[in-house]
Chain A
Amino acid sequence: MKRSMRIAAMIAAGTLLGWSTLARADGYVTGGTQYWYQSLEEAKYQEFREVPQGLFIESFLYRNPLLGGHVRAWGANLLRSDEYIAGDFHKPRWTAEVSYRETPHNLSFVSSTGYAFVEPGIQTLPDALQSAVQTGPDASDVTILSDFLNNARPLDLGIRTDALGARLKGRPGQGFKFEIAGSRRNRSGYKAYGGSFGFNNVVETAEPVRQSMAQGEAKVTYTKKKLTMEGLFGLSAFDNHEGTLTFDNPNRLVDSVSAPSRGRIDLYPDNRQWRVGANLALMLPHRSSLDGAFEYAQTRQDDSWLPYTINSAVFARTDSFPLPGTNTNGRVDLTTINLRFTTHPFAHVGGTLRFRDHHYDNKTPVHTLAGQVPYDGSWAAGEVETHPVSNRQTVSGADLNWSPIRQASLYGTAEFTHREHTYREIGADNELAGEGKLVLRPKTWLTAMGRYRYGDRDADELDIEEYETDTGALEEQPGLRRFDVASRIQNLGEASLSWTGMSSLATTLNFRYLRNEYHETVMGLQDDMQKSAAVDVVYTPSDRIDLEGTFGYAWIYTNQASRTSNVGVPVQADTLNWRARLYDEIVNATGNVGFHATKKVDLNLTYFYERSPGTYRLTSVKLTPPAQDLPGTWYRRQGVGTELRYKLTTVADAALRWAWEEYDANDFASQDIPLLLVTGSTRAIFLGDNTQDYIANAVSLVVTRRF
């Protein structure tokens, strides 16, 4: 819906509703004006929001009795790219809801491209440029491309999502309830995307995003005494209105074998899904209950295949190798069964037995293709088979909780997980896990919790054939175990303490530790560790002052082993080993001071600080030259917000606000990347989506009017 139409509809609806029964309505409107300034146009400041410049409506609420029920409408950030509007109408047995939300995801305001967009999915370069690079001497190519990119046009990167949803719920009686819901989500914009014409010719493209997603679901519930049964049916559909992305090759005007004039990427295919499900909850004697759920979903994908290549010089050859069909004929059956029995046979003892089976059953046929045309370059003959991967997870568990005294509770869990994976080097794995938790409440104002979990995942034998080519040659290091299916020992610990010993002071402490050890892994991720701690303090020294502070710290460590092998087969020599130890941290703190100065004046101060450094320790055994660490990275963001609020009348407030924000980033991967990157014979053209530091200030005056 066009914005102007939305505004008109909103005004009309508001006016009609307001006039009809204004005397009984209540609610508020908050709006004002704002000026803001940002030192550099870094999109991070408005990554998921629009900071308004000038007049704005911040939020509103309208409530009114209507037709024997109640109507409510509320919203925020009206007429902006991050607006949200919702409304509902309640009758004693019926509820109708509608909502609309726009969410921007601004990625870059400083990017640029040399491509002209004939259509969003057809991006071209001037023939003269392609011709000059193709026919001119190689030595001049970089100069030609540089000169061309110096005049690249700005291209904002970012996507916008508009989501419209509606729901109708009713309780017609006799134990029946129903719910019908639907939503439509449109996504549009441009994202940085890869494109490549080979190892030495990389082109970053702008993926045109024009997608729509529709979902609908209907539920019916029947409740009689201790039995609740629920049935559901759902449909969803994904439509990609930009099915392909075609982009010119800056190095070539005329197609030839191994050097196409353009490339074509098949963007995400349309898909459809329907699902049915049933839930059952049965209350049993001794405070017991049985809970069962079954869900089956089927996903289909039958988007037409593109030819092997868009390269006309190669296409003639591939014509003699017809595709094995016209589409993937993709189908996945998703089946989930969940059963839980919960009981509290004694006042202080409870327990649960549970079983869950989830099967992603990919019934897409295996297709055998005669070859491939990598990079739209040349025909690489040789049959290749597709692998429609499936997986299955079955979890059986038992939980027990025991509270022998009011001041203490004990929890225990035993869990067995079995997983199966098709077309993977590990066909199945089993994990046995045990968990214990103790909660102590020695005083009403003191609570302490400790939790520990141990898990041992045992992977089946490696199927070495998955590491081999069709001819039986090894193409992967045999010592590699991919961490998502590797044998693993997991230790998890958590502790917390809550103290509210003084009426004016409350504090909580939390700590978490997680360690995964892939003990059979020689190559790949060998272990990782996470630690985090947090402190919250609330202090209210008087009726006029509220102080709140939070602090959080998290640390992630990964340790991976690899082996350089710059020939066609994996070399088995420890001297080529290298290791990456990566450290990833985050420190964040917030503070808030609320000061109720007088009956009419309130002052609020907030501060936040976030700093997330990354460290990359690289070591090698005997590599020449030896491995060197990568430069450390960090992202730091901090800000101050103040609000001085004055109560004008009993129904109106005015507030003066000032917000300051600083962003400071240092990341070799996303800063100072030129539009044309030349490394030896390798050339890469990028969009220039570089992260920039900034300082931003915003001053606003807002008024809230209640009615």
Chain B
Amino acid sequence: MFLAMTLAGLGLAGSAHAQPGAASWGTASADSLQAMAAYVGMSQCVECHDTIADKFEPNPHHGAQVDAHPAGTTVQCESCHGPGSLHVEAAGDEKDPNFYAIRNFDHMKPSDQAAVCRACHTNGEQVHWDQSAHARNDVPCQACHSIHDAKSEGGKFLLREARATTLCVTCHTDKRTELARSAHMPLREGGMDCSDCHNPHGSIGPRMIRGVSNNDLCTKCHMDKRGPFLWEHPPVRENCVTCHRPHGSNNDKVLASKRPFLCQQCHIATRHPSTLYDRPDLLSNRLVNRSCTNCHTQIHGSNHPSGERFLR
């Protein structure tokens, strides 16, 4: 059901409410009609849409004040749906072209949907929306948010689902598979969400992350790894995902490959880094348990004067 709702939000699903003839949602005539409509106030809307109005009361939008908006400084139905005088005049008659002279988000282009929200949501989380991958790929706000029927915990962020992660993996199915791997961060247990690391509204970082770089993001929680250290491990300083797969891995510590092979992709040198640890060496302490980091424990960097090899 959720998939179908999301597809509907993306404008991909079949239009169950499409009307025959000229009078229909999202047509040029409906748009031009609405341009002639006037604001009538929320009390008129409640006459028919009482169940929606009831749900709207605890909504953060309800009663919120904005600096300037044609519908007034207090957010109400017409702030988003546009002036409704003609729609009210139609009195529920779907054959009357005026019935469609109101914004119905299910039948608007994604960019037009976003424009309505962006009339107010221009700063903070949404300041980079126009440049985001979601905006460029025509993902409308309503694909993730449900203004009238939020299912998120406490109604927070008015999400269509209880958790942001559930929403994200609907489209990002490869990430859903990654999260199912044995080593993972606590996303599926509810300890964190995709939106803890990514800002779906856009950011100045790559892949819409909530940091200016991967490392900047990771060290917001793993601040112990931030350094700078006396002895640096260069790839650590450059990009955490050189060694770690943050969405999940079959390997301990969400490592990209099993140790010692991960380390041996960059360290061949002489003696033990170059040694082949195969079946006869199965009980080698360089192969089992923490492998290389059984000894090189300070692999993210060391501040110990004798820590050049990350042993202390």
- Residues of B in contact with A (beta carbons under 8 Å apart): 1-4, 7, 12-16, 58, 60, 62-67, 74, 122-124, 127-128, 130-131, 136, 138, 153-156, 170, 173-174, 176-178, 180-182, 186, 189-192, 204, 212-213, 215-216, 220-221, 223-232, 234-235, 237-239, 242, 248-252, 257-259, 261, 264-272, 274-276, 278-285, 287-291, 293-298, 300, 302-309, 311-312
Contact = CB atoms under 8 A, between A and B. Distances in A.
Give the residue among B173, B223, B250 with the most A Cβ atoms within 10 A. B223
Q: Nearest 8 pairs between A and B by C-beta? A: A194-B297, A74-B154, A552-B177, A534-B173, A48-B186, A635-B182, A268-B224, A588-B180
Given A63-B58, A73-B154, 17 more contacts: A72-B155, A90-B60, A92-B64, A204-B294, A265-B298, A299-B227, A305-B304, A330-B228, A369-B305, A399-B136, A500-B7, A503-B16, A534-B177, A552-B176, A570-B274, A669-B252, A684-B285
Contacts, number: 448
Contacts of B234: 387, 389, 421, 423-424
A70 to B, nearest CB: 6
A429 B234 CA distance: 16
A444 B13 contact: yes
A299 B311 contact: no
18 contacts: A49-B190, A95-B60, A177-B124, A195-B297, A297-B212, A301-B303, A306-B305, A330-B229, A384-B308, A387-B234, A506-B13, A567-B270, A582-B258, A623-B276, A631-B282, A668-B287, A669-B252, A670-B288
A679 B228 contact: no
- The residue in A194, A236, A553 that gathers the most chain B C-beta atoms within 10 A of its C-beta is A194
Interface residues of A, number: 192
Contacts of A281: 122, 127-128, 130
A558 B265 contact: yes
Interface stretch (A33-41, A136-144, A335-343, A644-652): A335-343
Contacts of A586: 177-178, 180-181, 248, 250
B141 to A, nearest CB: 17
A86 B154 CA distance: 8
A295 to B, nearest CB: 6
A580 B276 CA distance: 9
B213 A445 contact: no
Contacts of A633: 250, 258
A394 to B, nearest CB: 13
A506 B4 CA distance: 6
Given A82-B191, A483-B266, A560-B265, A271 B127 contact: no
B223 A328 contact: no
B204 A295 contact: yes
Interface stretch (A9-17, A114-122, A473-481, A699-707): A473-481
Interface string A51-81: 0000000010101000001101110100000
A146 B271 CA distance: 30
Interface string A366-381: 0101001111100000
A565 B174 contact: no
A216 to B, nearest CB: 13
Contacts of A308: 305-306
A445 B11 CA distance: 9
A630 B287 CA distance: 10
A131 to B, nearest CB: 25
Contacts of B238: 360, 389, 391, 421, 484
